[in-house]
Amino acid sequence: MQVMPPWCRDVVALGSDAPIPCDRPFSAAEASRLGVDESLRRRLVERGLLRPVLRGVFVVAGVPDSLRLRVAALELIVPEHVVVVDRTAAWLHGVDALPRSAIHRMPSLDVFSTRGSRMRRPGLASGIRDLTMHDTQNLGGLTVTTPLRTACDLGRLLWRFDALSAIDGFLRLGLDHGLLLSEVGRFAGHRGVRQLRTLAPIGDPGAESPPESALRLHWYDADLPPPETQIWVDDDDGLPKFRIDVGDRSARYGAEYFGEEFHDEEKQDDDEARLTWLEERRNWHMDVFTKDDVYGRELEASGRLRRGHLAAVASRPVVIDLSR
């Protein structure tokens, strides 16, 4: 049996005397160059001192798992013809398009080949996709679809509520809306293009989070007048005081998304005071929506929005023109 080197013999965690990096992923080839061959790597994994990230890439067990770590691991093994796409590309560009399950479970990395066979490794979602040289760019050590191409792909392929959120995110990042609209036509005949044609025109950089984007799509589903995002309401001195997520200024109807994770008791009191001020001092009709309303099985938000908007319109005072 191979004798364990001193730096990993009778230890519960690898330290700075280990020849392999202790703060980043490393490839099997790099480990072998540093004197940690395949047999020793296998024994380190069995003892819980080392763990595989992707096939052929390892990290010291004490390094926390994260999407950033997995992308760094991908950089070590990805061939030149493989491109990072979809949700992973959006994350690299700074747009939150990860599945909601990513809070509890690490998502797969989206990597597609432009030729030949796809990458088949655990932790990767892969396939083959036609991409032009204008569809990709270099980002760090990876080839990634551009913001424009990524927005179009996610607008076609994701669930429509997540798709609009991704489009909003790229517009918020600075993607030109006119450029996005002009690009839609090239996807004629592609899967999901009808959805993209519907969602691209209503993209709005004012949506500050994925749930706000989803709430706005429910608004459109309710067949209400086009909504406005981030509506500021002034105080008595004419200064902006409170902001409404989405609404119709003419009807004085507003909708707010409250995420449970951000609403402790003190924040709830502040929100209640804000809603009371808007309703009693500024005559806005306000409705509050949560995750279950927006993403739940019943998708009840559009019905509530329709009823709320009708109630707001009905409560507006009738102005009689006496000049005639």
Q: pLDDT tens across 168-180, in order? A: 999 999 999 999 9
What is the Cα gyration radius of the chain? 26
Please state, in angstroms and as integers, the Cα–Cα distance from residue 188 to each residue in 150, 171, 184, 198, following that order: 16, 22, 8, 13
**Domain ranges (residues) in the chain:** 6-65, 78-202, 210-315
pLDDT of 67 strictly over 80: yes
The pLDDT of residue 184: 98
Chain CA centroid to CA 198, Å: 20
* Measured CA angle at 144 (ends 140, 149), to 5 deg: 145
pLDDT tens, position by position, 258-313: 986 555 666 777 888 999 999 999 999 999 999 999 998 877 899 999 999 999 99
Q: How far apart are CA 163 and CA 263, in angstroms?
A: 26
